[in-house]
Amino acid sequence: MSDVESSTRIARLTVTEVIDESHDARSLVFAVPDEHRDHFGYRPGQFLTLRIPSERTGSVARCYSLASSPHTDDAHKVTVKRTDGGYGSNWLCDNVSVGSTIESLPPSGVFTPASLDDDFLLWAAGSGITPVMSILKSVLSAGSGRVILCYANRDERSVIFAAELRELAARHAGRLTVLHWLESVQGLPTRAQLCGFAQLFSGYESFICGPEPFMAVVRAALTEAGVPRRRIHLEVFQSLSGDPFAEDVPASGPAGPGTDAGAAEAEIELDGTVHQLRWPRDRNLVDTMLAAGVEVPYSCREGSCGSCAATVLDGEIERGDTPILDAQDIADGLFLACQARPVSDRIRIEF
């Protein structure tokens, strides 16, 4: 990665506040340097990729959702919950204080509403509340729809943002309903228990974040209730095995001798701008776009975060390894640009 590209993508954030949210969760509030502000704008539900020091490997990269809202908060805030054996979460909770600095990649992720004016049924469990909280506050501040939050936790002391949720529910009594599900009282939620409730709000947009078993139960209930797949949105993280901070950005030009021969012609729409690129057969789309100077959204570059998800509108690609995409995602034309390679001669893509 060149010095210019590194300075654009990697920012050193300063911790301005540490907030104890529950007995095992803390929020970190960051100040973003002025020279990085343009690249650190974000949409509700997105995340930061933080670089955490490690004595064994030098550093590890971990993704943490932003609990702040770009519509209500001046500063970026992530909330970290300790996990058993979780190196990153425990290091952040044990070692970070006001004045600490942490390297971060720009906000990324696709767990974000297309419009804030819809009605929303938000589902969260444990620390899955973090991106959901960002969406909730944004809808109440900048949107016009109703919001129903179903928030599951082990017990009452595990509830993150308890006081803030009470205050928001009181202030927006006509638009926000908060429902708590405590395992210590009600046991684990089941599909049958949630299905009837989901049927009442089948026209709402559902956003789901939490442990995999929780998301699976909620998704099954919504499907059984007849909620269309297009209205069900899940936040899926895979542990990063590589280091996105250390990877080199590909040099401009073809990937190697003769590789441009027979390259696909790609028409790519990104943020309202259409780019015409030649896409070499042996290069993924993220590398191709970076080499052409296009600021494509990406984070992990290993198919684990979904930041570079895009849609094939016309043509054929080889998707590669995409464990975070399900069968319906693929049927809808979604793919991960960091894994995909061209098959047909002409391809039309939308981010």
Beta-ladder partners of 28 = 18, 78
- Domain boundaries 120-235, CATH class: alpha beta
Spell out where the chain has E strands: 11-22, 25-31, 47-54, 58-65, 76-81, 101-108, 120-125, 147-153, 176-182, 205-209, 232-234, 264-270, 273-279, 309-314, 317-318, 334-336, 341-342, 346-350
Distance of CA 121 to the CA centre of its chain: 18
What's residue 260's pLDDT?
Answer: 59
What's residue 238's pLDDT?
Answer: 64
What's residue 248's pLDDT?
Answer: 54
Topology of domain 11-108, per CATH?
Elongation Factor Tu (Ef-tu); domain 3 (2.40.30)
Amino acid at residue number 24: D
* CATH number 3.10.20.30 given to 264-350: yes
CB-based contact 80:92 (threshold 8 Å): yes
Kindly give the confidence (pLDDT) of every residue in the chain, 351 residues in length, as a single tens digit, with 9 standing for 90 and above.
444 344 568 999 999 999 999 999 999 999 999 999 999 999 999 999 999 998 777 788 899 999 999 999 999 999 999 998 889 999 999 999 999 999 999 998 889 999 999 999 999 999 999 999 999 999 999 999 999 999 999 999 999 999 999 999 999 999 999 999 999 999 999 999 999 999 999 999 999 999 999 999 999 999 999 999 889 999 977 666 667 786 555 554 444 444 455 799 999 999 889 999 999 999 999 999 989 989 888 877 888 888 888 999 999 999 998 888 877 788 888 999 999 999 999 999 999
CB-based contact 149:136 (threshold 8 Å): yes
Sorted by where each begins, the domain ranges of the chain are: 11-108, 120-235, 264-350
Distance separating the N- and C-terminal Cα atoms of the chain: 24
pTM of the model: 0.83
Q: Three-class SS of residue 326?
A: coil
CA dihedral 337, 341, 342, 347 (to 10 degrees): 0
Residue 94 host element (H or E): helix 87-95
What's residue 254's pLDDT?
Answer: 45
CB-based contact 223:264 (threshold 8 Å): no
What's residue 33's pLDDT?
Answer: 97
What's residue 1's pLDDT?
Answer: 41
